[in-house]
Amino acid sequence: MIKNTRKSQSDLALIGTPMRKIEGLDKSTGRAVYTDDIVLPGMLHGKILRSPYPHARIVSIDVSEAKKLEGVHAVITGEDIPTKYGIIPWTADEYPLCTDRVRYIGDGVAAVAAVDEDQAIRALELIQVEYEELPAFLDPYEALAADGSTPYVHEPKKEGGNGNVTKQVQLEFGEVDELMVGSDVIVEGQYFFEGSTHTPIEPHCAIGLWDGVGKLTVWSATQVPHYLHRELARVLELDPARVRVLQPLVGGAFGGKSEPFDLEFCVAKLSMLAARPVKILYTREEVFYAHRGRHPFHMKYQMGSTNEGKLTSVNAEILLDGGAYASFGLVTTYYAGQLLCAPYSMPAYRFDSTRLYTNKPACGPKRGHGSVQPRFAFEIQIDKLSEKVGLDPFEFRRRNFIGSNTRTVNEMRVTSNGFLECLESVERASRWRRKFRRLPFGRGVGVAGSTYISGTNYPIYPNEMPQSGVQMQVDRSGRVSVFSGASEIGQGCDSMVAYIAAEELGVPLEYVRVLRGDTDFTPVDLGAYSSRVTFMLGNAAIDAATKLREMVQKAVAGEWEVEVSEVLLAGGMAMWAPDTERQMPIREAFNLAESAFGTLGATGWYNTPKDIHGEYRGGTIGASPAYSFTAHVAEVEVDVETGVVEVEKIWIAHDCGRALNPVLVEGQMEGSAYMGFGEALMEEQIFKSAEQGRAGLHNAPSLLDYRIPTSLDTPELESLIVESIDPEGPYGAKEAGEGPLHPSIPAIANAIYDAIGVRVDRLPFSPPNMWRAIERAREAGTLGVPQLPDGPQVATGKPQTKTVSSRS
């Protein structure tokens, strides 16, 4: 475990200041290379044939005509790769190509490699597949009620069990029923979170290259090169030492590329058979079917409070609509409950969470994995409780603040916690007290809070090795080379390690090269998921850089005959602290160190604490070395005649520990809030029903019909960074990439209530859904601005950390 001794901003030269990204100019000049930009000599193009049925038995596949087509070099079916894969080792339930059964419209059944894309498409048309259709499960409640009279989506794990159930979790902490009954007020609600998908602008793409004598190379737009490496070797029965995964820059991912996909196995196998490199690029439609996005959640919440506004008990029942495969679903089922126990203290909590298989594309992790949906429901419940006990919703949240250096009811360790400062920042910036319940009918403000993990204490496959490693070397020109296996998906992790190398070794940023994205020469980093990268890779980079710095300091101190601790490395120079006029260029310092110690290199690593979690089954899931905290205020305008909701502005305050580069932190905050806004108002990953003619067909698999916010839709976003300086984070940093998504949705829901007195309990808040809710309120006579609470409006608690940046 790494302890940072240097915590004050005055001790830091670069960290904490606005900096460019190391690949920024490559991206703005078109030089940046993404997977589909790569063309190899003799490269073939692959295509995957996909099921037109949501649930069917494969009776036969005839590929003979496709094989005869001119220009076709290889054709494969499920029989060619008959090993299951899956990101969670215990729930591997997918074949690269289906062997005997298809489970959603879009499931792959065969793949071809041909001289060009046109010829590959012609070859697919020649493949004859005979299917025997099976009844499909499209509704999770029907999947739950299934009795086995028609085939389950998967075979039951136990005789007589329901094969449609992926996972069920029931956990209880404290005296839930007793405290609920004893509550002064109880609020109950049912909520539905519609599924949504990531839609990175770059479609999935992979290239396979078999060298003919045993070595496989795969380029892929993946967030998890290490897991892909492992799964390729295992599924294709290759020696992992002879598999190489390259990860070019990734054009957006958001969780949608965080597990192996069929195309990666197919390009590999097709290349092995064709003895030529093979590329597959998903069409946009295939990206929608590959999915792994936000699970639809059906949720029931019962929450109690005292008259003074202290939470007493929380009881939740959640049904997750998982789609055809497990993906990360085991974790999602836990996260649905486990990640809700901060930033508010709750004496008792129970959740019952069940994930069902259905015959639709598999759901998985999307930014804010597993906790965005329950947070939507929970923060509306908090708003309802505040109103019932007559408190301003800010005041209610403050009264239940869990604090720092504490444990949650489910025994997660919380260290740094800047949630109060987040609340204060958005309350002030939004001029909340002038607006809440005071704006004219149709306009309103809402607040919500949240927490998120900075990585998980336990890796996906059990092992004791570091979660992240970095190798660093310095050379005779003064340059620093950083070998990083982390996944640059736009969040800036390549730049982040460069900032750390420059900070610790005192070189200008342009002296740092980051060599990345290749499992042949980079240490393992587990991937860009669960908001782990800055925390873990950052600590690994500090570890490596510190080792090098100490060698350079020693060598210079020897030369000058001074104390090692008096040698500073900064601004491209080595300096003597007592008299900084005494200095030498960093290149000379590196040369002295190389003379003293030999060729200079160091590795650094980070591993998570392993003994800090609840001692119960599932207690390790959700355990993180640090938690981030967020609060949003949204201001909306609602047209009750049309049901159109306009979000005018979202104020985003986020406790990221320390902003290593505030420009990038703000980018994550704004991107997160934008993505939550899109889910709140417009996005729906939905499928046609049998009555609509094609059960299980995606309703709108295009970027025209699946609406994501354009520049004209997106509200004004204001980022307010809060720094709590985490004791274990690199320079005190925590995550910023996922937490700030959560409160967008409930803040908008609560603002709608403030505007027109209508509670919205299902996503999205689209005109049709809003119109129905407004009509119900009109009939019930509840349309109107709600009453101002009569309880205390004054803030309590003195903030200890500061808001460092405020912009519009």
Residues 138/359, Cβ–Cβ less than 8 Å: yes
610 lies in the site for another protein, by CB under 8 A: no
Residue from 6, 57, 284, 438 in contact with another protein (CB under 8 A): 284
The SS3 of residue 807 is coil
CB atoms within 10 A of CB 99: 18
20 lies in the site for another protein, by CB under 8 A: yes
165 lies in the site for another protein, by CB under 8 A: no
Q: Which residues contact 342 (CB under 8 A, 6 or more apart)?
A: 402, 408, 412, 414, 417, 419, 451, 627, 629
CB atoms within 10 A of CB 208: 32
**Region binding another protein by CB under 8 A among candidate stretches 24-32, 392-400, 524-532, 601-609:** 24-32
29 lies in the site for another protein, by CB under 8 A: yes
Q: Which residues contact 721 (CB under 8 A, 6 or more apart)?
A: 653, 654, 656, 659, 662, 665, 666, 669, 803, 804, 805
Compute the least distance from the CB of residue 682 to another protein, in Å.
13
Residue identified by tokens 């054009």 is: 251
Q: Please, what sign has the CA dihedral across residues 647, 648, 653, 656?
A: positive
Torsion of CA 596, 597, 603, 608, to 10 degrees: -80
304 lies in the site for another protein, by CB under 8 A: no
Residue from 4, 15, 23, 244 in contact with another protein (CB under 8 A): 23
What is the SS3 string spanning 698-762? Answer: ECCCCCCCCCCCCCCCCCEEEEEEEECCCCCCHHHCCCCCCHHHCCHHHHHHHHHHHHHCCCCCE
Q: Which residues contact 426 (CB under 8 A, 6 or more apart)?
A: 432, 447, 631, 632, 633, 651, 652, 653, 720
Question: Quick one: 67 or 234, whose CB is closer to another protein?
Answer: 67
Question: Quick one: 555 or 680, whose CB is closer to another protein?
Answer: 680
Q: Which of 644, 636, 666, 707 is nearest to 430 (CA)?
A: 636
56 lies in the site for another protein, by CB under 8 A: no
Distance from C-alpha of 652 to C-alpha of 774, rounded to nearest angstrom: 28
Question: Quick one: 220 or 769, whose CB is closer to another protein?
Answer: 220
Compute the least distance from the CB of residue 258 to another protein, in Å.
14
Residue from 200, 449, 506, 739 in contact with another protein (CB under 8 A): 200
Question: Quick one: 254 or 401, whose CB is closer to another protein?
Answer: 254
Question: Quick one: 281 or 638, whose CB is closer to another protein?
Answer: 281
Residue from 54, 203, 538, 732 in contact with another protein (CB under 8 A): 203
Compute the least distance from the CB of residue 367 to another protein, in Å.
10
584 lies in the site for another protein, by CB under 8 A: no
- Site mask for another protein (CB under 8 A), range 410-439, x = bound: ------------------------------
Compute the least distance from the CB of residue 764 to another protein, in Å.
17
Angstrom CA distances, 504 to 154, 595, 733, stand at 53, 21, 16
- Site mask for another protein (CB under 8 A), range 479-518, x = bound: ----------xxxx--------------------------
Residue from 219, 254, 535, 753 in contact with another protein (CB under 8 A): 254
H or E element that contains 374? helix 372-389
Q: Which of 497, 587, 604 is nearest to 543 (CA)?
A: 604
Compute the least distance from the CB of residue 69 to another protein, in Å.
9
Residue from 128, 190, 283, 782 in contact with another protein (CB under 8 A): 283
Residue from 97, 169, 249, 412 in contact with another protein (CB under 8 A): 249
Residue from 2, 13, 24, 573 in contact with another protein (CB under 8 A): 24
Q: Which residues contact 771 (CB under 8 A, 6 or more apart)?
A: 642, 643
Percent of the chain that is helix, strand, coil (3-state, to 5): 30, 25, 45
CB atoms within 10 A of CB 34: 15
Question: Quick one: 324 or 741, whose CB is closer to another protein?
Answer: 741
Asked, as a colleague might, if the bond just before 764 is cis with ω within 30 of 0, I would say: yes
564 lies in the site for another protein, by CB under 8 A: no
> Long-range pairs for 212-218 at CB < 8 Å and ≥24 separation?
212/275, 214/238, 214/239, 214/242, 215/242, 215/243, 215/244, 216/242, 216/243, 216/244, 216/268, 216/271, 216/272, 217/243, 217/244, 217/245, 217/246, 218/243, 218/244, 218/245, 218/246, 218/264, 218/267, 218/268
32 lies in the site for another protein, by CB under 8 A: yes
Q: Please, what sign has the CA dihedral across residues 703, 705, 710, 715?
A: negative
Alpha helices in 149-281 (DSSP H): 176-181, 225-235, 262-274
Compute the least distance from the CB of residue 733 to another protein, in Å.
17
Residue from 159, 704, 768, 779 in contact with another protein (CB under 8 A): 704
Residues 59-78 close enough to bind another protein by CB under 8 A: 70-71
Size of the site for another protein (CB under 8 A): 59
Compute the least distance from the CB of residue 586 to another protein, in Å.
25
Compute the least distance from the CB of residue 671 to another protein, in Å.
5
108 lies in the site for another protein, by CB under 8 A: no
41 lies in the site for another protein, by CB under 8 A: no
CB atoms within 10 A of CB 622: 28
30 lies in the site for another protein, by CB under 8 A: yes
Residues 716-735 close enough to bind another protein by CB under 8 A: 716-717
Distance from C-alpha of 403 to C-alpha of 397, rounded to nearest angstrom: 12
Compute the least distance from the CB of residue 753 to another protein, in Å.
24
Residues 269/78, Cβ–Cβ less than 8 Å: no
289 lies in the site for another protein, by CB under 8 A: no
Residue from 89, 252, 619, 727 in contact with another protein (CB under 8 A): 252
As beta bridge partners, residue 61 has 129
Residue identified by tokens 């390790």 is: 620
Q: What are phi and psi of 690, to 5 degrees?
A: -60, -35
CA 583 to chain centre: 45
Question: Quick one: 252 or 442, whose CB is closer to another protein?
Answer: 252
Question: Quick one: 133 or 510, whose CB is closer to another protein?
Answer: 510
470 lies in the site for another protein, by CB under 8 A: no
Distance from C-alpha of 83 to C-alpha of 805, rounded to nearest angstrom: 51
Torsion of CA 526, 530, 535, 539, to 10 degrees: -10
Residue from 702, 782, 787, 796 in contact with another protein (CB under 8 A): 702
Compute the least distance from the CB of residue 458 to another protein, in Å.
28
Residue from 202, 264, 427, 754 in contact with another protein (CB under 8 A): 202
458 lies in the site for another protein, by CB under 8 A: no
Residues 138-157 close enough to bind another protein by CB under 8 A: none
Residues 646-685 close enough to bind another protein by CB under 8 A: 663-664, 666-667, 670-675
**Region binding another protein by CB under 8 A among candidate stretches 227-235, 556-564, 709-717, 770-778:** 709-717
The three-point CA angle 327-464-724 to 5° equals 80
365 lies in the site for another protein, by CB under 8 A: no
Which chain residues interact with another protein by CB under 8 A? 20-21, 23-34, 36-37, 39, 70-71, 118, 198-203, 249-254, 281, 283-284, 489-492, 663-664, 666-667, 670-675, 702-704, 708, 710-712, 714, 716-717
